[in-house]
């Protein structure tokens, strides 16, 4: 009786292990679409009521930038299908002087309408982590980041701005949310964040586009002073109305298209996913001190370099942060 129980237990243990082993190999998700819960619980982002730099379409951004290294063009203008042929040291450099606020840079035409729809597609990337965990990353792109004022001077302007929120789902239930805020970030349990119609509410810093969990001013420290983001219940941006969607396989570092909605969805059909693998910079390189547009305030610069894209944002993270 005892021996046979052990045999039975061993059999069951093996059976369970084998079955879960098989399950790990078979994708738990439908690879051609994002799961429903990625939309049901997607963030509602509120742009500031006096925001001047709106969400941008990465396609339009490429049509207004030239790849440069050390302020010298290294290739002609790129599109999303050719981007990954560039070295990762290249900077997508504005063809216009950003200080002149060209229309593609301010992206005023992409101001969300009363339904929360913006002409600029977001980028949504889902990543399966095993044990029923799926992290969904909602990436926001803006062609310009305006820095904040410190003692009367603006610090931290840059061309190109990638921000994101990430929601961790376990067996389809949202459990935590991560918000990108400058070089640091915050994570909240699902219960802790305020919601509207089940959607977590995220407040976007004026100009810097950092994501905050509450409206109002948010102070953050830079090496030589205190800066503050302003956020309020301004314009709702509902990214589920227009986006490109992908799955990312962390074990092979590959992106596959999961289809999108709106402009992003239709543009995505003719694009490859290779642009997501490019590790270069999405804006101008930090201007040298000799550039009249640049100034240096105690080691902090008015213009800093553009950021890297989604692939460089630790999509394979095991913890939420
Ligand atoms: C960048 O260009 C400047 C001026 O042409 C040159 O002096 C410098 O050596 C270059 N730097 C690199 C890293 O190539
Ligand atoms: C991207 O550029 C390449 C090379 O110029 C071209 O062959 C391709 O058709 C372009 N793709 C799109 C989507 O415009
Ligand atoms: C928001 O930023 C714009 C410039 O980008 C500025 O004109 C406006 O005053 C800012 N609003 C607040 C509340 O700081
Ligand atoms: C994703 O891949 C990286 C690098 O191989 C690894 O360190 C990390 O643990 C992986 N994440 C998960 C959730 O397995």
Per-residue pLDDT for 297 more than 90?
A: no
User: Greater confidence, 319 or 107?
Assistant: 107
Dump the DSSP string for 173-239: EEEEEEEEETTEEEEEEGGGS-EETTEEEEEEPTTT--EESSSEEEEEEETTEEEEEEE-S-EEEEG
State pLDDT tens for residues 116-149. 999 999 999 999 999 999 999 999 999 999 988 7
Q: From atom 8 of ligand 2, which residue's Cα is the shortest distance away?
A: 81
Confidence of residue 27 (pLDDT cuts 50, 70, 90): low
Mean confidence (pLDDT) of the chain: 89
CA atoms of 99 and 113, how far apart (whole Å): 26
- Which of 253, 255, 316 to mutate to test ligand 4, by most ligand atoms within 8 A of the CB atom? 316
Residue 50 Cβ contacting ligand 3 at under 6 Å: yes
Residue 85 Cβ contacting ligand 2 at under 6 Å: no
Per-residue pLDDT for 22 more than 50?
A: no
Cβ atoms of residues 151 and 225 within 8 Å: yes
Q: From atom 9 of ligand 2, which residue's Cα is the shortest distance away?
A: 81
Residue 63 Cβ contacting ligand 2 at under 6 Å: no
Structural domain spans, the chain: 4-312
The predicted structure's pLDDT at residue 150: 77
Backbone angles phi, psi at 265, to 5 degrees: -65, -45
Distance 56 CA to ligand 1 centre (A): 31
The predicted structure's pLDDT at residue 149: 78
CA atoms of 15 and 107, how far apart (whole Å): 56
State pLDDT tens for residues 176-195. 999 988 777 889 999 999 99
The predicted structure's pLDDT at residue 8: 32
Task: Give the residue ranges of DSSP H helices in the chain.
Answer: 2-25, 37-40, 58-62, 103-106, 262-269
In Å, what is the CA distance from 308 to each residue of 77, 118, 119?
Answer: 18, 23, 23
DSSP state of 301: E
The predicted structure's pLDDT at residue 225: 63
């Amino acid at each position: 009786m005892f021996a046979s129980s052990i045999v039975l237990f061993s059999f069951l243990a093996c059976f369970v292990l084998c079955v879960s082993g098989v399950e790990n190999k078979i994708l738990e998700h439908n690879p051609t679409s994002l799961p429903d819960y990625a939309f049901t619980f997607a963030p509602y982002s509120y742009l500031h009521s006096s925001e001047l730099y709106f969400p941008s379409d990465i396609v339009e951004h490429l049509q207004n930038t030239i790849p440069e290294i050390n302020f010298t063009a290294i290739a002609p203008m790129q599109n999303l299908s050719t981007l990954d042929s560039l070295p990762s040291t290249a900077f997508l450099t504005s063809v216009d002087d950003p200080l002149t606020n060209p229309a593609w840079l301010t992206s005023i035409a992409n101001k969300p309408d009363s339904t929360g729809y913006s002409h600029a597609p977001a980028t949504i990337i889902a990543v399966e982590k095993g044990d029923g965990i799926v992290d969904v990353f909602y990436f926001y792109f803006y062609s310009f980041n305006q820095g904040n004022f410190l003692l009367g001077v603006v610090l931290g302007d840059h061309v190109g701005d990638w921000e994101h929120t990430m929601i961790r789902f376990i067996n389809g239930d949202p459990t935590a949310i991560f918000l990108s805020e400058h070089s640091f970030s915050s994570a909240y349990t699902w219960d802790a964040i305020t919601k509207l119609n089940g959607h977590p509410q995220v407040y976007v810093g004026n100009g810097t586009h950092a994501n905050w969990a509450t409206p109002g001013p948010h102070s953050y420290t830079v090496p030589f002073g205190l800066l503050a983001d302003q956020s309020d219940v301004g314009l709702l941006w509902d990214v589920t109305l227009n986006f490109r969607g992908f799955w990312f396989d962390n074990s092979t570092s590959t992106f596959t298209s999961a289809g999108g909605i709106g402009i992003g969805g239709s543009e995505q059909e003719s694009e490859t996913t290779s642009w997501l693998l490019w590790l270069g910079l999405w804006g101008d390189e930090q201007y040298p001190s000799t550039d009249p547009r640049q100034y240096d305030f105690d080691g902090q610069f008015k213009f800093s370099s553009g950021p890297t894209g989604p692939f460089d944002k630790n999509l394979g993270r095991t913890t939420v942060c």
